[in-house]
C-alpha cells in the first residue's frame, strides 16, 4: 500500500459509517469478489469530462495511455475520435485550461520512414479496449499497441501486420500535448537529448526533454527517460532544424543527439512482435533506468502488470468501501469507478522532486486537495517557495482562480483533529502568508490585474477596503472566497490559542457582507453579491449573468445568484440577507427548477 492510502482507508471508513448502504468489508461483499470488474476507466473521458482512461496506480506518477489529435485540446491525451500521434507515460486526469504532459512517448509506424518529424498520425480501426491495469489500441494500419504500467515505468507490446513492411518505433523527444485554444497556455518543447546503446538483448535509449507551460503556466521543467527494446534492432537518430518544424537537419547513424531543436530516434525491427520497457524520472535518467529495471524487469508479462495494478487498487482502495446492495451492477460500477477516478490525481512524486531534498512527502499535479500527506506537502512547498499552491503541476504553482484555498484544506483537517506528523505552527504560518502577503504579479494574459500563480492577488483591496473592487479580475467571486479563507485562519488560530489572530480573522471573514448589494433583484428575489468600483459605488449587475464568466470578469465560472450562496461559514447572516428562512429556501428551490 502506498503511504497515504493507509490514511485514505481510515477516511473512507468514516464515509462508509455514515452511509446506510455502506458497511465494513467483513459484513458485506464476498472477500473474493473481483471489485476491479466494476471499475470503468473510460468513465468521464468523453464529452468534456477530460478524465484519463489509461493505466495508473493509485496516485501513480505514470499514467500510461494514448495521445490523440482532433484539432481540439486533448487534456488527458485521450479522445474518442481522431488520430493517434503517440503513446505516452505521463498524463493528467480531469483537468481543464490546457493540456499537460503527453511526454515520454513512442509511436509505432509500419514501412519506410522518410522523415520522422512529418505527420505520422493514424486513425483507429476499432474502439480502444480498456480495463483496470490494461489498455489496447488498434490502429487503422493494422498495428496493435498493448500497454501495462507500474508507478514509475510502462511496457509496450506491439504487433505489426505481416504485409506492412518494416516494423518501426519512433521516439520523438519533442512530443507533447498541444493546446489549440489560443490562450497562450500551450506547452512548448525547449530542448532535450537522447543516447542509444546496444545491450546483450537489444537496445537501450536514455535522455531527457524539457518543456514549459500547460494549464498552470509552468516555467521550464525536465523529465528523464530510459527505454529498453528486448530484441535486436537497427536505429537512426534524427535532429530537426528548429523546436517546432518538420525540416530534418540530421537523420543517420549517430548514437546521440543533444539540442534545443526537435530530436529523437527511429528503431527498426525484423520481427512483427516488438516489446519495449520505459522508465521515467524527474531527477535523472539513471533513476529512470533503475525504476524500469526494478519495476518491469525483462520477461515481465502484461498479465503480471495488470494483476499487480488490480491488486494495488483492490487492496488499497476499492475494498475499503463495500455495500450490501450487490444486485445492481450499474450502481456498483458508479461506486467503484468513482473511487478509482478519485485517486488518479494528485500525483505522488515523493523521491522525484528535483527542486529540493526533504523528508516530507511531495505531491504534484494538484487540481484539488485532500489527505494528510498532501497537507504536509503543501506546507513544505511554502517552506521552500514562499506560498502554498491553489493548484500545482510540473513542480510549479499556478492557476489560482479564486482564494488561497489551501487554507481551507488545512483548517478542515485541523478542526477534524488531524495531527500526526503535521507541523501546525508552520501550517498556520503558511496560512498567514496567504492572508497578509501580496504575491508578485505574474502578468497572466488572462488577467493582468494581479497574480494568478499563488496567494491572494487582490489582497490590497481586501485589507484596505474590506471588499474587492473591479480593479481586480474576479472581484466578487474572489471576495466571498477570501472571506472563507479568513474563517479558515480563525479556526486554526483558535485551536492554537492565538486569540489575537483568531479575533482578527473572524472579523475579516465577515467582509463578504460588504460585497452584498441589497438592491440587486432577480426572479423576485432581492439582494445578491455584487461588484463595486474603485470609489466603492455599486456597479449595475444582472444576478443571472456573469458576463464572460472568466478570469477578467467579476465572477469566475458561476452566476452571481450561485455565488450568493457561498458564505458557508456565516449562514445565519446569509439567510437574513436573503430575506429570511422561507425566502432562502425559495431561492434554493429556484436554483434547481
The DSSP line for 381-449 is HHHHHSS--SSEETTEE----SS-THHHHHHHHHHTT--TT--HHHHHHHHHHHHH-PPPP--BTTBTT
Would 146 be classed as within a structural domain?
Answer: yes
On whether both 306 and 426 belong to a single domain, the answer is: no
Pairing of strands 322-323, 256-259: unpaired
On whether both 278 and 362 belong to a single domain, the answer is: no
- Cα torsion 425, 426, 432, 434 to 10°: value is -150
pLDDT of residue 2: 40
Grid coordinates of 173: 523527444
What CATH number should be reported for the domain holding residue 550? 1.20.1610.10
Is the pLDDT at 42 greater than 50, yes or no? yes
pLDDT, tens digit (0-9, with 9 covering 90-100), for 384-396:
999 999 888 888 8
Which carries the bigger pLDDT value, residue 10 or residue 343?
Answer: 343
Confidence of residue 75 (pLDDT cuts 50, 70, 90): confident
| Residue 274, strand partner residues | 158
580, burial (CB in 10 Å: exposed 0-12, middle 13-18, buried 19+): exposed
On whether both 380 and 240 belong to a single domain, the answer is: no
pLDDT of residue 369: 58
pLDDT, tens digit (0-9, with 9 covering 90-100), for 80-131:
999 999 999 999 998 888 888 999 999 999 999 999 999 899 999 999 999 9
On whether both 382 and 463 belong to a single domain, the answer is: yes
Would 6 be classed as within a structural domain?
Answer: no
Q: What is the domain extent for residue 438?
A: 355-591
Let me know: does 341 contact 194? Beta carbons within 8 Å: no
pLDDT cut 90: percent of the chain above it: 77
On whether both 107 and 216 belong to a single domain, the answer is: yes
Let me know: does 517 contact 541? Beta carbons within 8 Å: yes
Is the pLDDT at 212 greater than 50, yes or no? yes
Among 310, 333, 363, the domain-final residue is 310
pLDDT of residue 476: 97
pLDDT of residue 500: 97
Q: Domain total for the chain?
A: 2
Pairing of strands 129-131, 525-529: unpaired
The per-residue b/e assignment along 358-383, b for 16 or more CB within 10 angstroms, e otherwise, is eebbbbbbbbebbbbbbbbbbbbbbe
Picking from 559, 512, 554, the residue whose alpha carbon sits closest to that of residue 531 is 554
Picking from 350, 380, 346, the residue whose alpha carbon sits closest to that of residue 365 is 346
On whether both 259 and 379 belong to a single domain, the answer is: no
Question: Rounded to an integer, what distance in angstroms lies between the CA atom of residue 185 and that of residue 181?
Answer: 8
Among 310, 341, 370, the domain-final residue is 310
On whether both 135 and 240 belong to a single domain, the answer is: yes
What are the Cα distances from residue 22, in Å, to 12, 19, 407, 455, 582?
10, 5, 31, 39, 34
pLDDT of residue 391: 83
Summarize the confidence of residues 562-568 as an average pLDDT.
Answer: 96
On whether both 135 and 267 belong to a single domain, the answer is: yes
Work out the end-to-end distance of the chain between its first and last CA atoms, rounded to an integer number of angstroms: 45
Would 336 be classed as within a structural domain?
Answer: no
pTM: 0.71
On whether both 112 and 256 belong to a single domain, the answer is: yes
pLDDT, tens digit (0-9, with 9 covering 90-100), for 440-496:
999 999 999 999 999 999 999 999 999 999 999 999 999 999 999 999 999 999 999
What CATH number should be reported for the domain holding residue 170? 2.70.98.10
Would 19 be classed as within a structural domain?
Answer: no
Q: Tell me how far the alpha carbon of residue 263 is from its chain's centroid.
A: 27
Would 546 be classed as within a structural domain?
Answer: yes
Beta carbons within 8 Å of 194's beta carbon, 6+ residues apart: 171, 173, 205, 206, 207, 237, 256, 257, 258, 263, 264, 265
pLDDT of residue 94: 87
pLDDT, tens digit (0-9, with 9 covering 90-100), for 289-347:
999 999 999 999 999 999 999 999 999 999 999 898 888 999 999 999 999 999 998 99
Check the CA dihedral 324-330-333-339 and report its sign. negative
Would 551 be classed as within a structural domain?
Answer: yes
Would 261 be classed as within a structural domain?
Answer: yes
Would 348 be classed as within a structural domain?
Answer: no
Q: How many residues does the chain have?
A: 593
pLDDT, tens digit (0-9, with 9 covering 90-100), for 353-401:
999 899 988 888 876 555 678 889 999 999 999 999 988 888 888 888 9
pLDDT, tens digit (0-9, with 9 covering 90-100), for 144-169:
999 999 999 999 999 999 988 999 99
Question: Rounded to an integer, what distance in angstroms lies between the CA atom of residue 176 and that of residue 197?
Answer: 25
Is the pLDDT at 14 greater than 80, yes or no? no
Among 310, 344, 378, the domain-final residue is 310
Which carries the bigger pLDDT value, residue 17 or residue 181?
Answer: 181
On whether both 232 and 377 belong to a single domain, the answer is: no
Summarize the confidence of residues 46-71 as an average pLDDT.
Answer: 93
Grid coordinates of 455: 496567494
pLDDT of residue 308: 98
pLDDT of residue 389: 92
On whether both 449 and 568 belong to a single domain, the answer is: yes
On whether both 427 and 297 belong to a single domain, the answer is: no
Amino acid at each position: 500500500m502506498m503511504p497515504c492510502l493507509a490514511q485514505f482507508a481510515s477516511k473512507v471508513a468514516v464515509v462508509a459509517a455514515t452511509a446506510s448502504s455502506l458497511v465494513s468489508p467483513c459484513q458485506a461483499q464476498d472477500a473474493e469478489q473481483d471489485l476491479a470488474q466494476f471499475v470503468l476507466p473510460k468513465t468521464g473521458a468523453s464529452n468534456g469530462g477530460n478524465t484519463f482512461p489509461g493505466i495508473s496506480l493509485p496516485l501513480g506518477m505514470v499514467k500510461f495511455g494514448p495521445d490523440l489529435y482532433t484539432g481540439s485540446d486533448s487534456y488527458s491525451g485521450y479522445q474518442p475520435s481522431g488520430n493517434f500521434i503517440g503513446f505516452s507515460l505521463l498524463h493528467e486526469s480531469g483537468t481543464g485550461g490546457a493540456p499537460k504532459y503527453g511526454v515520454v512517448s513512442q509511436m509505432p509506424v509500419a514501412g519506410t520512414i522518410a522523415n520522422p518529424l512529418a505527420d505520422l498520425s493514424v486513425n483507429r480501426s476499432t474502439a480502444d479496449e480498456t480495463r483496470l491495469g490494461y489498455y489496447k489500441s488498434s490502429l487503422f494500419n493494422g498495428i496493435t499497441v498493448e500497454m501495462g504500467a507500474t508507478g514509475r515505468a510502462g511496457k509496450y507490446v506491439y504487433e505489426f501486420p505481416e504485409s506492412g513492411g518494416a516494423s518501426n518505433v519512433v521516439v520523438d523527444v519533442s512530443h507533447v500535448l498541444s493546446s489549440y485554444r489560443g490562450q497562450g497556455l500551450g506547452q512548448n518543447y525547449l530542448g532535450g537529448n537522447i543516447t542509444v546503446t546496444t545491450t546483450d538483448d537489444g537496445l537501450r535509449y536514455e535522455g531527457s526533454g524539457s518543456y514549459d507551460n500547460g494549464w498552470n503556466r509552468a516555467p521550464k521543467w525536465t523529465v528523464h527517460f530510459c527505454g529498453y527494446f528486448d530484441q535486436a534492432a537497427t536505429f537512426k537518430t534524427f535532429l530537426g532544424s528548429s523546436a517546432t518544424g518538420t525540416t530534418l537537419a540530421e537523420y543517420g547513424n549517430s548514437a546521440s543527439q543533444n539540442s534545443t531543436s526537435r530530436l529523437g530516434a527511429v528503431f527498426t525491427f525484423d520481427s512483427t512482435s516488438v516489446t519495449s520497457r520505459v522508465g521515467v524520472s524527474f531527477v535523472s535518467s539513471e533513476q529512470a533506468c533503475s525504476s524500469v529495471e526494478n519495476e518491469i524487469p525483462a520477461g515481465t508479462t502484461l498479465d503480471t502488470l495488470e494483476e499487480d495494478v488490480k491488486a494495488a487498487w483492490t487492496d488499497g482502495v476499492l475494498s475499503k468501501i463495500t455495500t450490501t446492495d450487490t444486485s445492481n451492477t450499474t450502481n456498483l460500477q458508479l461506486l467503484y469507478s468513482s473511487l478509482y477516478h478519485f485517486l488518479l490525481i494528485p500525483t505522488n512524486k515523493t523521491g522525484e522532486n528535483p527542486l529540493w531534498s526533504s523528508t516530507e512527502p511531495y505531491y504534484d499535479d494538484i487540481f484539488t486537495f485532500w489527505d494528510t500527506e498532501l497537507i504536509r506537502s503543501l506546507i513544505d512547498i511554502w517552506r521552500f517557495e514562499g506560498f502554498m499552491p491553489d493548484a500545482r503541476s510540473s513542480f510549479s504553482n499556478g492557476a489560482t482562480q479564486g482564494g488561497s484555498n489551501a487554507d481551507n484544506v488545512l483548517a478542515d483537517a485541523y478542526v477534524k483533529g488531524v495531527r500526526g506528523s503535521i507541523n501546525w505552527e508552520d501550517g498556520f504560518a503558511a496560512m498567514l502568508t496567504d492572508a497578509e502577503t501580496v504575491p508578485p504579479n505574474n502578468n497572466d494574459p488572462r488577467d493582468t490585474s494581479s497574480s494568478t500563480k499563488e496567494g491572494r492577488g487582490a489582497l490590497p483591496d481586501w485589507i484596505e477596503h474590506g471588499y474587492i473592487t473591479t480593479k481586480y479580475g474576479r472581484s466578487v467571486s474572489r471576495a466571498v472566497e477570501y472571506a472563507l479563507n479568513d474563517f479558515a485562519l480563525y479556526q486554526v488560530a483558535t485551536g492554537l490559542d492565538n486569540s489575537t489572530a483568531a479575533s482578527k480573522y473572524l472579523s475579516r471573514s465577515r467582509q463578504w457582507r460588504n460585497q452584498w448589494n441589497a438592491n440587486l433583484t432577480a426572479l423576485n428575489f432581492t439582494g445578491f453579491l455584487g461588484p463595486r468600483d474603485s470609489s466603492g459605488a455599486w456597479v449595475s449587475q444582472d444576478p443571472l449573468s456573469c458576463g464572460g464568466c472568466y478570469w477578467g470578469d467579476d465572477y469566475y465560472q458561476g452566476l452571481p445568484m450561485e455565488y450568493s450562496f457561498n458564505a458557508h461559514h456565516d449562514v445565519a447572516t446569509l439567510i437574513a440577507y436573503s430575506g429570511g428562512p422561507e425566502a432562502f429556501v425559495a431561492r434554493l428551490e429556484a436554483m434547481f427548477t
